[in-house]
Amino acid sequence: MIHDPRWTLPEGWDAVAGRGFGPFTIQLTLVGRDGMRAVWDSRHHRKRATSPDESTWWAPGALGWWMAVLFAIGSACFAAAALPALADAIGPTTDNALYFVGSVFFTTAGLLQYAQVVGADDRSLRGARARLRRLATCSPHRIDWLAAAVQTLGTLFFNISTGHALTVSATSADALNHAIWRPDVFGSFCFLVSSYLSYAEVCHGAARWMPRDLSWWIVVANLVGSIAFGVSAVAAEYVGTGTLRSASWTTTGTFVGGVFFFGASILLLPERTQGHDTAEDLAAEMLPARPAAA
């Protein structure tokens, strides 16, 4: 029943049900000899690790709070920079700088998200510093680790693309595509893969309709945002020096993607402080006792 090498069942407990996506175990239901029930859920275990009594909107001591805020700022930068009126008002150089700043916020938030993932199964880790020390962890058997790693890689491609847009002076479409467009496409592809993996994690499978679940709305918004970024990236191919395949689709896709990512980032804040489930709390106490080695 257990396909996740992290877990060894405590004595007296049996795994009676499990849900997953492909090779990934996402939810596990355990029943003890006394009839007690424990449910481990990958996202809930990671995202609801803080006390529900914490402030939803102001918690600078929590890693998850910073992650949400930084993602929101990065998304807002991308959405704002895509507005033609703003671009005309501030000029192309400042507009490209806004994109680059947004990409840096994305990368910082992505690293915090990755730190949250690698530290989720070790109760001895407390705070961002302790978790950041485990960034070298490799856990491809975990869907959350894979999603976070791929998204972080995508943010680095966005750093390259937006940085080159500020610094590279090219005289041909091929040179512009190599320096700016290809990293943008790679970054958008990474975001799309990561967003779908996160969606599958929440759905406990390939797809599921869960409109009453806040986490479901978050991953759906991220998935829509990633699709919009992908459309923007395809349209942003240079067909001539300084000429894009479709400037309108490029700006529209970037703006829509930024708006959806911003909405998803804001929703991460109330997700942190949602009430805990007794069965999930019990599983969180039992299963992380023997985390997988890094």
pLDDT band, residue 5 (cuts 50/70/90): low
pLDDT band, residue 127 (cuts 50/70/90): low
Once rounded to an integer, what is the mean pLDDT over residues 118-127?
A: 63
For residue 286, being part of any structural domain is answered with no
pLDDT at position 56 over 70: yes
Domain that holds residue 203: 63-272
Q: How many domains does the chain have?
A: 1
Q: Which residue has the higher pLDDT, 10 or 39?
A: 39
For residue 53, being part of any structural domain is answered with no
For residue 251, being part of any structural domain is answered with yes
pLDDT digits (tens, 9 = 90+) for 169-192: 767 889 899 999 999 999 999 999
Once rounded to an integer, what is the mean pLDDT over residues 274-280?
A: 81
pLDDT at position 126 over 90: no
DSSP string, the chain: ----TT--PPTTEEEEEEEEETTEEEEEEEEETTS-EEEEEHHHHHHT-S-TTS-SS--TT-HHHHHHHHHHHHHHHHHHHT-HHHHHHH-HHHHHHHHHHHHHHHHHHHHHHHHHHHTTT-TT--HHHHHHTTTT---TT-HHHHHHHHHHHHHHHHHHHHHHHHH---SSHHHHIIIIIHHHHHHHHHHHHHHHHHHHHHHTSS----TT-HHHHHHHHHHHHHHHHHHHHHHT-EEETTEES-HHHHHHHHHHHHHHHHHHHHHHHHHHTSPPPHHHHHHHHHGGGSPPP-
For residue 42, being part of any structural domain is answered with no
pLDDT at position 282 over 70: yes
pLDDT band, residue 133 (cuts 50/70/90): low
For residue 3, being part of any structural domain is answered with no
For residue 259, being part of any structural domain is answered with yes
For residue 44, being part of any structural domain is answered with no
Q: Is 118 exposed, middle or buried (0-12, 13-18, 19+ CB in 10 A)?
A: buried
In this prediction the pTM is 0.90
pLDDT given at position 202? 97
For residue 6, being part of any structural domain is answered with no
Q: Which of 185, 278, 196 is nearest to 235 (CA)?
A: 185
